[in-house]
Amino acid sequence: MPNFNGTESAEYVLNVALKEFSARPTEQRRGSISYQNNIPFLRYEFRKTDDAPECVCFYRLDTMLLPLFQEAERIYDALPTSMRKDASLREPLIRYLACFGMQAMLSRLTILQKELFEENLDEGILVTSTFLLHSAVAAQESPENKSSLARKANRQVKKWLDEVVDASMKKKRDFLVKFANSQPLMNIPTKAGRPLGTTKPEEKKAEEKAEFESKLEETIKALYHTLGRVPFKYEVAEALNIGGQSAKGSDSRINSLNNKLKRLDIDYPALISRLNLHE
């Protein structure tokens, strides 16, 4: 990232982002930037073989990326006041955020473009299947069976639709979760979890707490006998396969274990004391 002093215009930040993106190795950027009358375009080419490309797409980048500058301002200002201790950093940081976000959009765009063709086929199959099923039902309906046929057809189409949407959302979620979890302090569950707005039943919470607490105690005891001392928290987390160390050296073991202890309302120091490991 270049240095920003906070006075740069949105257009200047855009040009920096495009320059940084263009400097990446070809296999990372999967596209090339060109200009027409000073307007930047991204050319993306998709090939399965060395023959002619299956598609060539052009994206106008100024209208696509410049709105992110205002979004960077909103994102920064949404931080709690306690996390914005130095007001003089606001303008430079907004430009760093915008530059990072623009490059992320460019990188993701080429991935999405390839997925678009795959998803378009899936949706084409869905639309065609729905049309055929509806036609078949319409040809067979009568006053006596109209309602039952329609219900069966609706259930089938809903099943197809859910499968297509779930597959698409899973790919998007997997990508975004992978990025979030590459940050040292982030530990986003790899599964979607409960529907938004729902809560886990108290009985289920208590059952999960008791099960994990028992597993935690057994793990700590086993480590104590192996090590001859009270194990460090990161050793406990590793034994439980919670968190890990990335290739870049970041370590999420302690943070991940702490998050789980907090979620299950388990008092770790009290648990250690209760085990009487020194006796």
Q: Read off the pLDDT of residues 64-95 as tens digits, 9 standing for 90 and up.
A: 999 999 999 999 988 888 887 788 889 999 99
With a cut of 90, say whether residue 97 has pLDDT above it.
yes
- 97 and 165 assigned to the same domain: no
Last residue of a domain, one of 60, 79, 114: 114
pLDDT at 31: 79
- 106 and 134 assigned to the same domain: no
What span, in angstroms and rounded, lies between the C-alpha atoms of 208 and 176?
27
Cβ atoms within 10 Å of 205's Cβ, excluding its own: 14
Last residue of a domain, one of 114, 138, 156: 114
* Domain assignment of residue 99, yes or no: yes
* Domain assignment of residue 242, yes or no: yes
Please, are residues 251 and 235 in contact by the beta-carbon 8 Å criterion?
no
Helices (H), the chain: 10-22, 26-29, 61-65, 67-77, 90-140, 146-181, 202-227, 233-239, 253-263, 268-275
- pTM for this model (two decimals): 0.58
Name 94's Cβ contacts closer than 8 Å, sequence gap at least 6: 6, 69, 72, 73, 76
Last residue of a domain, one of 60, 81, 114: 114
pLDDT band at residue 60 under the 50/70/90 scheme: very high
Please, are residues 93 and 76 in contact by the beta-carbon 8 Å criterion?
yes
What span, in angstroms and rounded, lies between the C-alpha atoms of 102 and 12?
12
Q: Give me Rg for the CA atoms of the chain.
A: 27
Q: Whole domain around residue 99: which residue ranges?
A: 10-114
